[in-house]
A = this chain, B = another copy of it.
Amino acid sequence: MSILPLPSVLIFGFGAFGRLVAEALAPHLPITVCDPAVAPDSTGYPVVGPEAAGDFDIVLLAVPVPALRLCLEQIAPHLRAGQVVVDVCSVKEGPASLMAALLPADVQILGTHPMFGPQSAAAGLAGARIVLCPLRGQQWRRIAAFMRHVLQMRIVIATPEEHDRHAALTQGLTHLLARAMGDLQPHPMIRTRSFDLIMEGLSMVRHDAPEVYEAVTGGNRHLVPLRVQLAQFLAGGA
**A230 engages B198 (CB within 8 Å):** no
The 4 tightest CB contacts between A and B, nearest first, are A197-B201, A166-B187, A198-B201, A231-B235
Contact A194 B204 (CB under 8 A): yes
In the complex, per-residue mask of A201-238: 1 if CB is within 8 Å of any chain B CB, else 0: 11011000000000001100000001111111111001
Residues of B within 8 A of A200 (CB): 197, 201
Q: Which residues of A contact B (CB under 8 A)?
A: 113, 115, 120, 129, 131, 154, 156, 158, 162-163, 166-167, 169-171, 173-174, 176-181, 184, 186-187, 189-198, 200-202, 204-205, 217-218, 226-235, 238
Pair B235/A189 contact, Cβ less than 8 Å: no
Docked-complex contact A234 and B180, CB < 8 angstroms: yes
Q: What are 5 of the A-B contact pairs (CB < 8 Å)?
A: A158-B190, A193-B201, A194-B201, A227-B234, A227-B235
Interchain CA distance A180-B214 in the complex, whole Å: 24
A173 to B217, CA, bound (A): 22
Question: What is the CA–CA distance of A218 and B204 in the complex, to the nearest angstrom?
Answer: 30
CA A158 to CA B197, docked complex, whole Å? 24
Q: How many Å lie between the Cα of A115 and that of B195 in the bound state?
A: 12
How far is B224's CA from A235's CA once the two chains are assembled, in angstroms? 9
Cβ contact within 8 Å between B171 and A192: yes
Minimal Cβ-Cβ distance residue in B for A198: B201
CB distance from A120 to the nearest CB of B (A): 7
